Amino acid sequence: MNPEDVRLARAALTRLMEPSDLPGMAMIRVLGAWESMRVIAGHVRIGASREAAVAELLSSEAGIRWGGLAEALDRWRPRLPDLAPGRDLRVIRRLGGGLLIPEDPDWPAGVDDLGLAAPVGLWFRGPARLPRFQDCISVVGARDSSEYGESVTAAICHRLAAQGKTVLSGGAYGIDAAAHRAALSGAGPREPGGAGPTEPSAPATVAVMAGGLDRFYPAGNEGLLRQIAEQDVLIAEVPPGTNPTRYRFLQRNRLIAALSAATVVVEARWRSGALSTAHHAAGLGRQLGAVPGSVYAAGSAGCHRLLRESAAVCVTDADEVLELASPMTVRLPERAAPVAVYDGLSTEDLLLLDALPMRTGSSVEKLSTVAGLGTPAVQAGLGRLELLGLARRSDRGWARAKSGSG
C-alpha cells in the first residue's frame, strides 16, 4: 500500500483518538491504520474474527476488556466531521515539518517501548531529526523553578549540548525553558536548516509539546519555541490546531520518557508533573536521575522523594548525567581533592607518625612505647617516614618533619 496513504490515515487517527486510547491502538495494530479508518468511517465492517483479535491483543498487552466496537465508535465518530488530514499535513509542511509514522525509517524506536500506548504518529516542526536514542537526555522540572534549579539546569544542559547530546524537555516555563535555552547556547551557533535537507543536523534540543505545533504554547515561551522550531525540532503526537489539555500534558510526559535514554529531574515539588515523567522513565527501564537540593526547598522535595522511593540516581553535574546516560562508556573524572600527607601509609607507619613529637626529639625506645610498635618496626618505619619527608633526625632524636605537620 502507498506509504503516503498510510501517512494520511495516521494523520486522521491522531485527530480521532486521544493519546493512549488503547482500544484504538489495538485496532490499528490488528487492522492497520488505513483499514482502521475505513472501519471507523463505516465503509467496511470489522468482522467477528478481526474484532476477536483486537480484544485478544487488548487483554493480553494491556489487561483491558474490549468493550466492543460500538462503544469505541461512540468516542471517535463525533470527530469525523472535523477530519481533514490532507489539510493538517499541508499545514505542518508549510510550517517546515511533517508527520513521522512508524513505517518511516527514522521513526524513533524508543517510543515503541510504550507498547499499545505508543503514539499513532509524531508531528514535528523544524529542520532537525531525532538523533540516536542513546544521545537523547531529558531534563525536566517544575514550572515554578528557583534560581538554584535554573542555574543547575543551565550548567548541566549547556555541557550536554556541547558534548553533542540532545536535551529533550517539555517547552514549559521554569526548568524546561532553562534546559532548552542552555542546550541552544551549549551547541553554539548553527546555520538554520542544519547540514542541509539531505542530511539534517543533530538537534541541540527537542521540545515535546502537549498541543498542536501550529501554535507556540505557553505564550511566554514563544521566542524560545520559535528558535527551537527554526534550528532544531518540536514534536507532538496531536495534530495542528489541538489544544494542550491537562490529559494531553500527562500523556506527553510518557513520550519525553520513552524518547530518551535517561531522564533527569532537576526540581520538583512533592507532587509534580515532572514526577510523572520520572515514573514513566522508571517504568520503561530508562535511566533516571534526580538533582539534590536544600531539605528546606519545596522545589527539591520531589527530587529527594525520587531518591528515596525510586531507582533515581543522585546527579549533581553534567559528568554524572553523561555517566547515567551511558554507564558503559563514560568514565567519571576523578574528583580533585587535597591528598593528605599520610595517605597510603601502612597502619604501623601511621601509628609511628602519630607518635613522633612535633618539636622535641624522641628515642626509638620511647617511640616504641608511645606508638605501640616493636623496636625493629620503629626503626624500619622511621626510615620510610624519613624518605617520605615526614620524619627528621636531630641531635635530640626523632621528630615530625615540618611537611608532616599538615
For a copy of itself, the binding residues (CB under 8 A) are 16-18, 21, 71, 73-76, 78-79, 81-82, 148, 152, 245-248, 269-271, 291-295, 300-301, 304, 307-308, 313-317, 320, 335, 337-338, 340, 342, 347, 350-351, 353-355, 365, 368-369, 372-377
CA 305 from chain centre, in angstroms, equals 18
CA distance to 224, 228, 344, 379, per residue, from 5 (Å): 34, 30, 71, 90
Question: Position 283: which residue type?
Answer: G
Pairing of strands 233-236, 122-125: antiparallel
Minimum distance from CB of 270 to a copy of itself (Å)? 5
Closest CB to a copy of itself among residues 106, 147: 147
Least distance to a copy of itself, CB of residue 42, Å: 15
In eight-state DSSP terms, residue 123 is E
In terms of Cβ atoms closer than 10 Å to its own Cβ (0-12, 13-18, 19+), residue 50 is middle
Nearest-approach distance from CB 191 to a copy of itself, in angstroms: 35
Verify cis geometry, omega within 30 degrees of 0, for the bond prior to 189: no
Least Å distance, CB 265 to a copy of itself, is: 13
| Residues 109/86, Cβ–Cβ less than 8 Å | no
Give the residue with the Cβ less far from a copy of itself, 67 or 196.
67
Residue 344 makes CB contacts below 8 A (sequence gap 6+) with none
* Closest approach of a copy of itself to the CB of residue 69, in Å: 12
| Complex with a copy of itself: residue 245 or 403, whichever CB lies closer | 245
Residues written for the chain: 406
The letter for the amino acid at 252 is R
Least distance to a copy of itself, CB of residue 383, Å: 17
Which residue, 125 or 158, is less far from a copy of itself as judged by CB?
A: 158
Least separation in angstroms between residue 4's CB and a copy of itself is 26
Least separation in angstroms between residue 117's CB and a copy of itself is 12
Residue 36's Cβ-side half-sphere holds a number of Cα atoms within 13 Å equal to 27
In DSSP terms, 362 is beta-bridged to 398
Is the Cβ of residue 101 or residue 152 nearer to a copy of itself in the bound state? 152
Q: How far apart are CA 365 and CA 361, in angstroms?
A: 12
Which is nearest to 11 in space by CA: 107, 115, 90? 90
Name which of 194 and 293 has its Cβ closer to a copy of itself: 293
All residues at 6 or more sequence positions from 400 whose CB lies less than 8 Å from its CB, including other chains: 353, 356, 357, 358, 390, 391, 392
Contact predicate 99/90, CB 8 Å: no
d(CA 329, CA 287): 14
Q: Which is nearer to a copy of itself, 96 or 241 (CB)?
A: 241
How near is the Cβ of 192 to a copy of itself at its closest, in Å?
34
Could you tell me the three cell numbers for 15?
Answer: 485527530
Taking the least distance from each CB to a copy of itself, the nearer of 75 and 143 is 75
CB nearer to a copy of itself: give 261 or 373: 373
